[in-house]
Amino acid sequence: MDKNSVGIVTPQVYTFGETDEDALKLDCGKKLGPVNICYETYGTLNSDASNAILITHALSGNAHVAGYNSEDDEKPGWWDEMVGPGKYIDTDKYFVVCSNTIGGCSGSTGPRSINPKTGQRYNMNFPVITIADMIRAQHRLMQHLDISKWLCVLGGSMGGMQVFEWAVNYPEAVSSVCAIATTSRISPQGIAFNWVGRESIMSDPNWNKGEYEECIPENGLATARMLAHITYLSEESMDNKFGRNLQENDNYSFDFQGDFAVESYLKYQGNRFVGRFDANSYLYITRAIDYFDISEKAGGDLSEALKDVTMPLMMVSFTSDWLFPPTQSQDVVKAMLKNGMNVTYCNIDSSYGHDSFLLEVDALGSLLSNFIRNSFMEVRNG
């Protein structure tokens, strides 16, 4: 185990909404309760709770951002290189929180949770959720942890969407925000990819209208993951990693079993995903992403939508990210500058595509470390 690892971390669960009055009100008009929020914390909250950082995860992520859940874990949390003692997000200095979003399948209430009214799994009776609903649940967790203001809320991809929702809906509860490899609204192309992924799941006979147990829709979920994974890479990274290399044979097989290394890689990624994620959760979370548009309530005017975002904002994009290209980050920067607000922007040169926010640890980590340190200094100095 890495000496700079946070070590063994035990997931915790916070439950709220056990009465109708306390239930979570959703954008779809329904209420959800009771709600379980699975979360992990790293580091120690200081006496005035001024060193708390919230990390928000991407579509297929969860609360396990760093460390290990047991001695037998083969791999640490999904951002372990970034979070830990002496690392860029230094848990010797900061109290770091990460929670699994509602709608997920890693401990927080989602479609595979038991509906207390029926005693059966929600499945497709789970209410449709939005990114804003996710952060409303996180805000309940924040109150439970006795944190009145986050030092920083940061996240990449779908996590960056949650960052925007925090900045717009709870500006008084955040000292600074950092949105990474993300967008202020999902594009038609992004909606299209999500649609095809959901169609592949719902077309799998084992999906059974969401009512599955032993026979899960493996093929559909694996195909959805393969499609999505292509969008996470770049043409350059795929060419560098795979080229047109054959997987096993020196010649074409002249069948359809997968000759190329890139085909084998995608199949591996799809099969591995099936073992850790739920098909119904994939439907609900991708739909939440589809509905995300921070400017919608302002009639599409991004500057107007961001007018109350007065805290420092850092935007980070990556040159080869074609899922959420740099131009989409630059739109946010222009809107902030139009409002005369404090915004920092960096477009990191990387060939890794959208996955750069997970792989460019040193380049991104240096930016985050300095940004958070400056925010902490401002908070401490009043």
* Residues labelled as active-site residues: 157, 321, 354
Secondary structure of the chain in HEC code, one letter for each residue: CCCCCCCECCCEEEEECCCCCCCEECCCCCEECCEEEEEEEECCCCCCCCCEEEEECCCCCCCCCCCECCCCCCCCCCCCCCEECCCCEECCCCEEEEECCCCCCCCCCCCCCEECCCCEECHHHCCCCCHHHHHHHHHHHHHHCCCCCECEEEEECHHHHHHHHHHHHCHHHECCEEEECCCCECCHHHHHHHHHHHHHHHCCHHHHHHCCCCCCCHHHHHHHHHHHHHHHCCHHHHHHHCCCCECCCCCCCCCCCCCEHHHHHHHHHHHHHHCCCCHHHHHHHHHHHHHCECCHHHCCCHHHHCCCCCCCEEEEEECCCCCCCHHHHHHHHHHHHHCCCCEEEEEECCCCHHHHHHHCHHHHHHHHHHHHHHHHHHHHCC
Residue 8 is which amino acid?
A: I
Nearest by Cα to 216 from 267, 277, 265, 268: 277
* Count of C-beta atoms within a 10 Å radius of residue 44: 12
Q: Which residues pair with 15 in a beta bridge?
A: 36
| Cβ 99 vs Cβ 63: under 8 Å | yes
Q: How many residues does the chain have?
A: 382
Q: How far apart are CA 136 and CA 152, in angstroms?
A: 17
| Spatial separation of the C-alpha atoms in residues 175 and 173, rounded to whole Å | 7
Residues 82, 53: contact at Cβ < 8 Å? no
- Strand 343-348, strand 152-156: pairing: unpaired
